[in-house]
Structure 1
Amino acid sequence: MTVLRPRGLILDAGALLQAEDKPNGEVWTYCLQEVEAGRRPLLPAAVLAQVWRGGSRQAGLARVVKVTEVLDFGEDDAKRVGAMLGVSGTCDVVDATVVHASMRTRYAVVTSDPGDISAIGNALNYRVPLITV
């Protein structure tokens, strides 16, 4: 597996689902690389809400969440994300939240669905750095 050297990582819902299905897979490896580099992967709160159901079946997911920094979603963020949805002509608040976080930080997004993330970024003239899992 290639060792990543991004500035930082943001996890989307697909990354969390992969962590749940493959507890020692790529997502976990990427998270460990971030921690070893002295950073914590970022996890938008909306992404966590979309995937979290609780219970023992999500042990791999819970382990990933423990090493992340969960990003709050306040009023200003909500207004920016809503405006982004208007410009992009899309309606997925969670994907737009991920793009918003990437635009603020310039971090790469770990995703299983690069098309949706890219479409929002492209509509805003922002090339989202992507890592597909």
Structure 2
Amino acid sequence: MKKHSGLTLIEVLIASMILFMALGLVSSVFQQNLRSQMQANKYLLATQSYMSMQAEIRFHLEQGKSEGTIQTPAGPFTWTAELQEQRQELADLSPETAPGAVGGTLRLYNITVVAESQFSFEFKQAVWSDKLV
């Protein structure tokens, strides 16, 4: 009787099934990693443009606007401002100043910024104006 050496069809099928399952698992891990990396890049772009965005919003608040859209490299951002508090400030603290003289108005806004990708953040912004309201 001759002994046959080699792989049977069943052994090849089982080995290929194990190989394809391992490849599928590895590719799903890489795909999830890629998605996480892309999301992190979006947040990074948004935070990099945060300072310029904050300056632009402050400018619009000084102009009297309470909402708007800002175009950044990360995409468009929509912002809204809600007045939290408003106080009149003294013009001068010197003894020559008439009591009760006011020099301007300080307003505190709560700013909500929403990105196109539906993530949002909030911050507070104080704006001083020499106009009395």
Structure number having the greater helix percentage: 1
Name the TM-score, length of structure 2 as normaliser.
0.22
Of the two structures, which has the highest relative contact order with CA contacts closer than 8 Å and spacing of 6 or more? 1
Larger Cα Rg: Structure 1 or Structure 2? 2
